[in-house]
Structure 1
Amino acid sequence: MAALVTALVLLFFLAGYHFYARYVGRRIFGDDDPDFVTPAHTLQDGHDFVPTKRPILFGHHFTSIAGAAPIIGPCVAAYWGWLPALLWVVLGTVFMGAVHDYGALVISVRENGRSVADIAAKVISPRVRLMFLCFIMVLSWLVLAVFAMAISGLFITIPTSVLPVNISIVVAVIVGWLLYKRGVGALVPSLVALVVLYLFVWLGTKVPLSLADVGMDRGQANLTWILALFVYSAVASLLPVWLLLQPRDYVNSHQLVVGLGLLFVGLFVAHPDFDAPAIRMSGENDPGGAPSMFPFLFVTIACGAISGFHGLVASGTTSKQLDKLEDARPIGYGSMLGEGALALASTMAAVAGIGLVGFCALPGQGQVADLSWAVYYDSWAHASNNKAAAFVLGGAAFLQELGFTPVLAQTLMAVLVISFAATSLDTATRIERFIVAEIGDALKIKALTNPYVATTIAVIPAILLSTLRVADADGTVREAGWALWPVFGASNQMIASLTLLVLALYFWQRKRPVALLVIPMIFVMAVTMFSLVLHLLEFWAAENWLLLGLTLVLTSLILWMAGESVALFLGRMRGRDQSGQE
């Protein structure tokens, strides 16, 4: 049953690309202009603006947007059963998330590679631009912190993943040098890089690298990895995009696509039944303690259906590398379908693969003799604390159906999670540098436009969020980034709704039909506002003033931006009516 449902979803994704994306592109975005010259050519500087071939840029964009969130979110949301999670991943991806990403890329390219926040100043007001930038800056710090903590945790838990993940940096630099300095064609370096990366996955099982071997406890190891990750991401964000960021994303994309393909083949070979119920109803199989399915399912899955972070990537780095406007559909819409496929794989690992696991060890639950969905999701606390473990365990069970050993299967699954997160980490740092520089430009603070100053401001708060410990909503003391995770999903999707708002106003002003932008914008904004209000009440009741204050600030910024946008729309509608009467 699970294999049949998976096949139907993949076919639906394919149909969405060939029919819905083409319709939206021609009817709304106007991407069928062969004479349009992209900013990668008009502003080419060899550093940020670099015309890039479609396959290479697809690899950069796909791996940058597909971080840890579309893996963690569906794993947690599987608590409510397989059907709600699956429906939101499928419908959200095709009709909302992919359209959002595609549109953000198109308008940024049409506006000389400017960010969505910068374009908001043009279509709404300069005040909205500044508020949008501040909102994005806070969200990006949280993204950086969460991804760094996820990577660090997996490095510590699965030390066999350390070598294969880090060798990709060396491979990427070599590939970048061959492609851009030696003029070598992409095919041979790509194939060699893919073989090398998978060879090192196997070598990683033979040479695990654990900081415990040099006398570090878990806390010291966690701090060391987090600092190392942010040093790497800071350096990567300052280097020319062709040297490390772009080629690493490119070579990793091949590894990740092959890994996803193996997962789906393993799923089809295993042909498992769903181990989870379709919907977890209140009653005997619901232990309580979980938030309500509506609206929290939507913000928990977050990036697996629609993500504001994707718009930041599209308008932050990808638009500056787009070779032709016609490449926007396969890169913008197509990459989001790839992320939807990742969220689908994560969901299936959690609701079907988990029943194939057998013996394992789970954080907070200890040794489990016979793992099942009912055991893994026996409480909301376990579901939310175990995070991506369901993907690693369930996905490894699928790979074992193909003859992988348990150690090799779990290592490959951990490498997939870390690689998705790591390629988003360095891109997010680069985007945060751009955002800080834009804020400096808006406030006339020249120092903030300095790349080194902007990068420092990008990483220091993220390091603090990754290392400082605070109480979350239920009183549990944990890293600030994990404590803020419930706010991340809502804030991320709120940025998506605001991006859809900017898109709607932008194309409405150009006499384009915008209903297919306005409908998802209203839905996502309503759901996320509802969840933020519930979070405010929860944090107030728990007297958690840190989370309450941050959520209140974010909610206020959202209401202000939405209010200015509505006022602008109504004012221009009145202007149209008056001109029509004249």
Structure 2
Amino acid sequence: MISFLVALVLLIVGFFTYSKLMEHVFHIDDRQTPAVVHPDGVDYMPMKTWRIFLIQLLNIAGLGPIYGALAGACWGPVVYLWIVFGTILGGGVHDFLSGMMSEREDGASISEVVGKYMGRVITFIMRIFSVVLLVLVGTTFSTGPAGLLASLTPTVLNAKFWLVVILLYYLCATFLPIDKIIGKLYPIFGICLIIMALGVAGGIIFGGYQMPELWDHFANEDPNGKPIWAMMFVSVACGAISGFHATQSPMMARCITSEKEGRTVFYGAMVAEGIIALIWAAAGVSFYNGAAGLSGALAAVNNNQGEIVYQICHGLLGPVGAVLAMIGVIACPITSGDTAFRSARLTIADWFKIDQSKMTTRLFLAVPLLAVGAILSQLDFSMIWRYFSWSNQTLAMIVLWTGGVFIHKYGYPPIASLMAAIPATFMSAVSITYFFQAPECLHLSTSIAYPVGIVAAILFFCIFWWRTFIVHKDDINHELAAQAK
């Protein structure tokens, strides 16, 4: 239990220290935010900080910090290290930068932000990449809950019926003003997600369960021998660092009323997600008596993590836990799916400069997106979804490199930009290594994947350093001098 409590304290301390440094480097000021400058009553909507925080938490979380943490716990308590340091040094930085860069660019979608600082080619790639990724997320997070709802209701209400209901809800959440559905429901479900995590933590701590200590199990405990590098760092995305967050943060960047809220909303929500992931990782290895027991339990239910969540909640909290588990595994993915489609609408609108103040123009984008989602929902996503994990971390890598360029341009060069460039280098190594070693990708041996990933990451860092600090040094100095005047 000691290692769990130490990890928990580190996450909290990391928020109160490293996030302050990040805020200082970013040069937070008292400029008016997009929500204040031109509220449109639809997407640019001033909201209270606590409400934006809970919406952001549910936007980025869903079931990610639960399912991902349980998958990562199959490697043992060593996953605590990735959750803690990944959150503080990577995920928090990534989410803060993606949200605040968007805020500085008038609430622009992440594809437009990346394009401005990384070039036209990257702009086009990011636009396509973001829309495809978001539609896949939205579609996948409709079929899963539909199947679960069908299993809990009379046979006449089958999965197709619930899929139609969910897609109709997605349509409403995609084009209606953000305060009508998302602004009202998300805080409630966000609180439920937090209560569920706290209840599980209390059940493990006070229920007499033995939490394995990190120093007693500092090894790869995966029974199938899957390598920790880079498999664990891709499996545990939400709860450490996830590129999907960068597609969600711009929505809240259009709602904050002060730049000082960014630290709480973006970095704070990421730390809260890290805490939730830490709790579920600890619950997985404690409730099932170790990583091997957890792996065996997942295998017994054909890797149905929803069933594992139900077993843990019911076992620790009884009927109340069972209700919370059902709310979690049904509502949480739905609340990720609707904002995925909403983000896709905003990305396309920014891409083609389509005004979204009128309902007809919003429907013009929302209806085709949901139609594509309905068609894709009939396909088998088992293989396609495997690539999401890799593409998710690749997106995080791109956003962090963009953040490094942004900080260097407007912050305190050169050391400040390393706060983004170092985790960007790390995620480059993770993403490239995974692509070379994963079964759904090239499936090469670790003797090839490891050195290729590391060398490529070092090369990326060298290119970043050369282009940022050498090639553009004079241009940036002139620009900073002009700003000072």
TM-score for the superposition, normalised by structure 2: 0.85
**Amino acid across the alignment from 1:500:** L
Q: Is the CA contact 1:349–1:391 (under 8 Å) kept in the aligned structure 2?
A: no
**Amino acid across the alignment from 1:492:** N
**Amino acid across the alignment from 1:458:** L
Equivalents in 2 of 1:383, 1:514: separation in Å? 45
> Residue 188 of structure 1 corresponds to which residue in structure 2?
none
Q: Where does 1:151-166 land on structure 2 (aligned, <5 Å)? A: 151-157=145-151, 159=152
**Amino acid across the alignment from 2:3:** V
Equivalents in 2 of 1:349, 1:394: separation in Å? 8
Deviation at residue 38 of structure 1 after TM alignment: 0.5
Q: Is the CA contact 1:437–1:450 (under 8 Å) kept in the aligned structure 2?
A: no
Judged with a 3 Å threshold, the aligned counterparts in structure 2 of structure 1 residues 339 and 150 are, in CA distance, closer, same or farther, namely farther
Q: Where does 1:382-531 land on structure 2 (aligned, <5 Å)? A: 385-399=303-317, 404-405=318-319, 408-441=320-353, 450-469=361-380, 480=381, 482-512=382-412, 513-531=416-434
Query: What per-residue deviation string (whole Å, max 9, x for no partner) do you get for residues 129-187 of structure 1?
Result: 11111111121122113322332343245x2xxxxxxxxxxxxxxxxxxxxxxxxxxxx
> Residue 320 of structure 1 corresponds to which residue in structure 2?
254
TM-score for the superposition, normalised by structure 1: 0.72
Judged with a 3 Å threshold, the aligned counterparts in structure 2 of structure 1 residues 373 and 11 are, in CA distance, closer, same or farther, namely closer
Q: Where does 1:109-148 land on structure 2 (aligned, <5 Å)? A: 109-148=103-142
> Residue 470 of structure 2 corresponds to which residue in structure 1?
573
Tell me if 1:534 matches 2:445: no
Deviation at residue 373 of structure 1 after TM alignment: 5.6
Q: Where does 1:50-449 land on structure 2 (aligned, <5 Å)? A: 50-83=45-78, 85-157=79-151, 159=152, 210-212=153-155, 214=156, 221-274=158-211, 278=217, 281=220, 286=223, 288=224, 291-315=226-250, 317-355=251-289, 374-378=292-296, 385-399=303-317, 404-405=318-319, 408-441=320-353
Q: Is the CA contact 2:74–2:294 (under 8 Å) kept in the aligned structure 1?
A: no
Judged with a 3 Å threshold, the aligned counterparts in structure 2 of structure 1 residues 148 and 291 are, in CA distance, closer, same or farther, namely farther
Equivalents in 2 of 1:234, 1:569: separation in Å? 46
Judged with a 3 Å threshold, the aligned counterparts in structure 2 of structure 1 residues 261 and 436 are, in CA distance, closer, same or farther, namely same
Judged with a 3 Å threshold, the aligned counterparts in structure 2 of structure 1 residues 14 and 571 are, in CA distance, closer, same or farther, namely closer
**Amino acid across the alignment from 1:128:** I
**Amino acid across the alignment from 2:75:** W
Judged with a 3 Å threshold, the aligned counterparts in structure 2 of structure 1 residues 507 and 466 are, in CA distance, closer, same or farther, namely same
Equivalents in 2 of 1:465, 1:225: separation in Å? 16
Query: What per-residue deviation string (whole Å, max 9, x for no partner) do you get for residues 207-251 of structure 1?
Result: xxx132x3x6xxxx2333223212211111111111111111122
> Residue 172 of structure 1 corresponds to which residue in structure 2?
none
Q: Is the CA contact 2:436–2:443 (under 8 Å) kept in the aligned structure 1?
A: no
Q: Is the CA contact 2:131–2:344 (under 8 Å) kept in the aligned structure 1?
A: yes
Cα RMSD, aligned residues only = 3.0
Query: What per-residue deviation string (whole Å, max 9, x for no partner) do you get for residues 69-108 of structure 1?
Result: 221112222222222x221111111111011111111111
Q: Is the CA contact 1:354–1:397 (under 8 Å) kept in the aligned structure 2?
A: no
Query: What per-residue deviation string (whole Å, max 9, x for no partner) do you get for residues 462-490 of structure 1?
Result: 33443212xxxxxxxxxx2x322321111
Q: Is the CA contact 1:490–1:528 (under 8 Å) kept in the aligned structure 2?
A: yes
SS in 2 for 1:46: coil
SS in 1 for 2:180: coil
- Name whichever of 451-460 and 137-146 sits farther off: 451-460
Judged with a 3 Å threshold, the aligned counterparts in structure 2 of structure 1 residues 539 and 384 are, in CA distance, closer, same or farther, namely farther
Judged with a 3 Å threshold, the aligned counterparts in structure 2 of structure 1 residues 419 and 111 are, in CA distance, closer, same or farther, namely same
Judged with a 3 Å threshold, the aligned counterparts in structure 2 of structure 1 residues 569 and 151 are, in CA distance, closer, same or farther, namely farther
Pairs aligned (count): 454
Equivalents in 2 of 1:412, 1:418: separation in Å? 10
Deviation at residue 266 of structure 1 after TM alignment: 1.8
Q: Is the CA contact 1:60–1:247 (under 8 Å) kept in the aligned structure 2?
A: no
Deviation at residue 517 of structure 1 after TM alignment: 0.5
Unaligned runs of 5+ in 2: 355-359, 445-455, 478-485
Q: Is the CA contact 2:103–2:254 (under 8 Å) kept in the aligned structure 1?
A: yes
Equivalents in 1 of 2:275, 2:49: separation in Å? 20
Q: Is the CA contact 1:305–1:340 (under 8 Å) kept in the aligned structure 2?
A: yes
Q: Is the CA contact 1:64–1:420 (under 8 Å) kept in the aligned structure 2?
A: no
SS in 2 for 1:421: helix
Equivalents in 2 of 1:578, 1:422: separation in Å? 46
Equivalents in 2 of 1:257, 1:383: separation in Å? 26
SS in 1 for 2:256: coil
Aligned match for 1:45, one of 40, 48, 52? 40
**Amino acid across the alignment from 1:211:** P
Deviation at residue 384 of structure 1 after TM alignment: 7.0
Q: Is the CA contact 2:56–2:249 (under 8 Å) kept in the aligned structure 1?
A: yes
> Residue 22 of structure 2 corresponds to which residue in structure 1?
24
Deviation at residue 48 of structure 1 after TM alignment: 1.0
Equivalents in 2 of 1:571, 1:11: separation in Å? 36
Equivalents in 1 of 2:307, 2:125: separation in Å? 36
Query: What per-residue deviation string (whole Å, max 9, x for no partner) do you get for residues 353-398 of structure 1?
Result: 234xxxxxxxxxxxxxxxx864552398658722343333123322
Deviation at residue 324 of structure 1 after TM alignment: 0.9
Q: Is the CA contact 1:121–1:129 (under 8 Å) kept in the aligned structure 2?
A: yes
Equivalents in 1 of 2:164, 2:218: separation in Å? 41
Equivalents in 1 of 2:371, 2:406: separation in Å? 35
Deviation at residue 321 of structure 1 after TM alignment: 0.3
Deviation at residue 516 of structure 1 after TM alignment: 1.0
Deviation at residue 441 of structure 1 after TM alignment: 4.1
Q: Is the CA contact 1:500–1:518 (under 8 Å) kept in the aligned structure 2?
A: yes
Equivalents in 2 of 1:9, 1:300: separation in Å? 19
SS in 1 for 2:238: helix
Equivalents in 2 of 1:120, 1:375: separation in Å? 43
Q: Is the CA contact 1:68–1:150 (under 8 Å) kept in the aligned structure 2?
A: no
Deviation at residue 41 of structure 1 after TM alignment: 0.7
**Amino acid across the alignment from 1:518:** A
Q: If you compute each CA radius of gyration, which structure gives the higher value, 1 or 2? A: 1
Equivalents in 1 of 2:307, 2:120: separation in Å? 44
SS in 1 for 2:237: helix
Deviation at residue 428 of structure 1 after TM alignment: 1.3
